[in-house]
Amino acid sequence: VQAPAYLYSLGALGVPDSAFLLGKGLNFIVPSVIILVTGCVFAMWLGEKITDKGIGNGISLLIMIGIIATMPQSFVQEAITRWDGNGGPMLILVEVILWFVVILLSVLLVMATRRIPVQYARRSASGGYEKNVMGSRQYIPLKLNASGVMPIIFAQAIMFAPGLLGRTFNDTAIGQWMEVQFQDIFGLAYNILFALLIIIFTYFYTAITVPTNKMADDLKRSGGFIPGIRPGKETGNFLDKIMSLITLPGSVFLAMLAVLPAIVVKLMDIQAGWALFYGGTSLLIMVGVAIDTVQQVNAYLLNRHYDGLMKTGKNRKVA
């Protein structure tokens, strides 16, 4: 479905005829659809192989590599523009420092959690009878941004609607206004609506993907409880309340990162290609996949070190 739509969009966006090697008829459409579908299937197969044989999620790694591959060209174009007199080397340095600051903020958004203390009761035999004693103290990590990049993706899909409606009803004043305001992804009206949609979708997606009632039931069955909160329904309501409280700053933070490219374009006159790396799905995907890969590498090294210690202990016993 996406392949024919993509090919149709090439003509709709005004791509020069030289890009259509075989013309715009079936001689071009059919082979192109076959090539695009084959490439998609190959990428899925390669991602599964990376997941099975490597470390990390294969599809996510491929997406991250594709994003990173476009970064050098965008930065070089921005540097050439600045070096030719539009700011000079000092502004290039400021842009790089700002980019690293945005990365640190993205890491904070991805890794920030609210830790809910949990205690487990274990049973021990004493004097011929069993009694409950306080067990280990652990935590339930509730992520500040439990929805990831999905709210941004959903919001971007919805943001096509205002421009489409404007083009459909361009014979009216409202339609002309919508077409002008929402065709520029760096415009004020576009980004205000974009940020509001991200906040709304963050709440919806978090409510769907974080089953607080199931967490409370699992905690009750395992003998755990939150100090001061009764197990069961009261625990579920407490977790739901905490998630609602931390989702608000998380959604606002996510919306700010999503509209940050538009802000730097307007305030610093950064080229659009390089500005997209200052936020949005591209940056969050890179940061999220990188953090996940590092965590899996650390877990692999820890397991390998543990296996080495076990083998050393067995060899000493045999000796």
Burial class of residue 51 in the structure, from the number of CB atoms within 10 Å of its CB (0-12 exposed, 13-18 middle, 19+ buried):
middle
The reply to whether 21 falls in a domain is: no
- State phi, psi for 114 to the nearest 5 degrees: -105, 115
Residues 6+ apart with CB under 8 A from 234: none
Q: How many domains does the chain have?
A: 1
Gap between the Cα atoms of 157 and 148, Å rounded: 16
In this prediction, residue 307 has a pLDDT band, given cuts at 50, 70 and 90, of low
In this prediction, residue 129 has a pLDDT band, given cuts at 50, 70 and 90, of very low
Q: Which domain holds residue 127?
A: 55-318
The reply to whether 168 falls in a domain is: yes
The reply to whether 32 falls in a domain is: no
148-162 tens-digit pLDDT: 888 888 898 888 888
Beta-carbon count within 10 A of 286 CB:
20
The reply to whether 96 falls in a domain is: yes
Domain CATH for 284: 1.10.3370.10
Of 38-42, 102-106, 131-135, minimum mean pLDDT range: 131-135
Between the alpha carbon of residue 57 and those of residues 60, 110, 111, the distances in Å are: 5, 17, 18
The reply to whether 156 falls in a domain is: yes
The reply to whether 70 falls in a domain is: yes
**For residues 186 and 196, is the Cβ–Cβ distance under 8 A?**
no
Tokens in use for 149?
């990049």
The reply to whether 245 falls in a domain is: yes
- Report the helix count and the strand count for the chain, using DSSP H and E: 13, 3
In this prediction, residue 130 has a pLDDT band, given cuts at 50, 70 and 90, of very low
For residue 23, give the 3-state DSSP assignment: coil
254-303 tens-digit pLDDT: 999 999 988 888 888 888 888 888 888 888 888 888 888 888 888 878 87
Tokens in use for 301?
């090294």
Q: What share of the chain is helix, strand, coil (3-state, %, to 5)?
A: 75, 10, 15
pLDDT tops 90 at residue 199? yes
Cα 58 to chain centroid distance, Å, stands at 15
